[in-house]
A and B are shown apart, each in its own frame.
Chain A
Amino acid sequence: MTNIVVLVKQVPDTYSERKLTETDHTLDRESADAVLDEINERAVEEALKIKEAGEGEVTVLCVGPDRATDAIRKALSMGADKAVHVSDEALHGSDLVATSRVIAAAIGKLDSVDLVIAGNEASDGRGGAVPAVVAELLGLPQLTHAHHLAVEGSTVKVDRETADEGITHLEANLPALVSVTEKINEPRYPSFKGIMAAKKKPVETYTVADLGIDAGEVGLTNAWSAVQSASPKPPRQAGERVEDDGEGGTKIAEYLVGQKLV
């Protein structure tokens, strides 16, 4: 029986326009459609595959505002068994260290966790450090950037792939934490039965106080990093047109070299 916790985050849809609020430069969650981050769908998929191959239970854990219930429900309708939702006004603007502490404390509330699976980085903040910090706080081995994952008995094996270091084979004893990349799998769609079943699955909600964390340790005012200013991305420039007069291929190659793209 493998007890798996998947960390999931609700993020603004990458297809919609994403903005920071003018007042405190935190993410403007109202301006964009909110979705379950695709990398987390892959993390859920991986957990479900492990569960389906043997025995296990998949719990999704989400730190986020009330509306994040939609993201949680999606993970449940894909097939996760239950959920933990940490929602608290005090968390608004928390940095990744505070967020990781909250996640670690929430994981601590669950009995016998064998494996924690996260996405390697969220598509909004893109800090990419939460999995490592959570592993550190919980004293778990961290196997990050996995593009392949296998649980064999009480060990977990991972192929770690990064642009800089190529592929490394990692192995650790359970319990452990794994973060997965885009390449790990193709997530399933929730089935109609899964959607209907999701409403009956238990969702436990916690405030930071429930987790024994002081509100003074989290939130924007207690963050170690601050955004001083932000400006919107400049509008896209008109593309460069290459007419093919027989030399088209060469011209494109020259352009790409000029832009240092090849």
Chain B
Amino acid sequence: MSRTLRISSGSLVAAALLLLPALAGAQSPTRAPAPAPVKPAALPAFQEATLPNGLRLMLVESRRQPVVSIALMIPAGDSYDPVGKEGLAGMAANVLTKGAGTRTAEQVAATIEGVGGQLFAASGPDFLTVRSSVLATNAPLAFELVGDAVARPTFAAKEVDLSRTQAASALQLEQSNPAALAQRYFAAQLYGQHPYGRRPSATTVRSLTADDLRAFQRTRLVPGGALLVIAGDITMTRARELALRHMGQWSGAAPAGTTRPAPPVRDRTEIVLVHRAGSVQSNIVVGNLTYRPADPRAYALTVANKILGGGTEGRLFATLREKRGWTYGANSSAPRNRDIGALIATAEVRNAVTDSALVELLAIERSLGSTRVPQAELENNRGALVGSLPLQLETAQGIAEQVGRFTMLGLPRDYIRTLRPRLAAVTAADVQSAARDLIRPDRALVVVVGDGSQIYDKLARIAPTRIISTQGDPMQPSDLVQRAAASLPVDATRLVAHSDSFVVLIQGMPQGYQTTSLAKGPAGYSYRTATFLAGGMVQQSGEASFTLELRPTAVKSSGKVQGQPTSTDLAYAGGRVKGSSVSMAAGGSKTTAIDTTVAPTVIDDNMLTALLPGLRWAPDAKFTFDTFDASSGTVRAAQLSVTGTETVTVPAGTFPAYRVEVTGMTQAVTMFVTTAAPHRLVKIAPVGAPVEFVLAK
């Protein structure tokens, strides 16, 4: 094939290169080119110093951009909470940035935003971390705000109360969230008396006072044992100077360590069934303890874990979902903690296949230890792990996070530098060996949250099974009682076409609106909602269609939350619901693929408010019903309970209304429905947040 080569204007180099194809005879290959060799992560040498008060400094100096990111990590995480005061570290982290030094919460926020920077604090099992990222010229401000937060927090009554209310509400919700219950009981059973097994409850959180927070700050938020990681455009001299100025007066030696009780050792697989009457699905968590963070087997286990359950490419997903259709989500993780880590696999499955799914899951785990992983599968999974590390180290903030974490976990100085080659060097034999040692299906803890009356017998045939209630009390098999499928007793003649609009108040200020409308046709109903908040930061609209017999047929919605798209697309047919949902989750959006059976009387979450006018409302009314929630892809047993009668004033007027508590759905809410027919919804407020939807028209 002849080609006319035109030399474009410009350099000789360009001209020479244009001749290359003719000289080299090179053509574009028909397959993707092979990877070049992986490089070790290249970070600047760490510079270290210790202040007179014991605070360790670690600097990763980089002139790439004039930015500085600091992360102060203190061994004061959740596992240090005193018994009975679980939730203390979490609440402290929440309130530290809501007023410190000479600034109120509003002033802290306005100050950091005024320079285009960031400030946040959080607690994990081992550490409480306060971070700030700013332009390099504002480095003094970052040190000041972080120093104030840990050494001079205000713990204003208003902020403490707000934090307590929010935390208590979130925990109350957990009771109706089977996945959260599964995690709670799994941790408790896996770690036994070790503090990693303890979790906050609504009771413990409600008991926390500002005095508790102050005592926590005095005794645990101390420089002794803490690490300040700094990354970016700043010298050690300057960093040290700023640390001295804003954290130098901060004092306190590391508290004496207490010996922690060792977690239990298992010699056989045991199942703990958390009985949740009415569940149509089971939440399975399977796992075992692994090792301390610096264990050399970590590289091989990281790869093994990815092969086992690293997302949609993992074996758990491929088998339990793609091949069997028993679940829409199954994966695994290998978290590392200072004392001891774990290997955890999870799956949510229908009642009827709970036992089969568990058997299959254990078999998949066993196969990793008994059979070599095929080369292609090894390379794909290894490649994804090796490849993603540099993306995490692009920014000063990313570097501070990674370096801080690995240092506080006691990993060696060269850990990040050697991580990629070490992962890339993991062989199929290494994976098999690590799996044999550290993925132990035959000595595992299995926690299943589900309806014991449906699943206990079959589970007991797999391994010894104990039963506890959702409150944690021991139960006997004879206590398991079958519950009939529950449905909402709706009088469809009371469902008439209408539309309503609500104003959304956030902290009392109108910040948006929501419109709802119900239309009725010969084939059924169409219920549409649209929400618009905060100048477009949140937008959503959706439509739920259901038959005249109130069976859902389709649900579609789409929207954006702060630029992240969310959507739902479900079709109900032949006793199944299929589709997908994209929802907000920590770290981005989460896609849930859905394909599961639903009993005929199950409604869809999005239909509920449309059905309210059709219920027989009374001062003592209580309704229990099964409803499908797309964001988790599960059927939930929910409840509407009338807890009182109040006069409610909203823009549309003043109405006597029943106060209705809604529990068991994704979000606990309080609704107000007029006592007189037609029963209109005049107000909704999610529990624990300063938000209200009030009827306007």
Q: Is this pair of chains taken from one and the same complex?
A: no
Contacts from A to B (Cβ < 8 Å): none
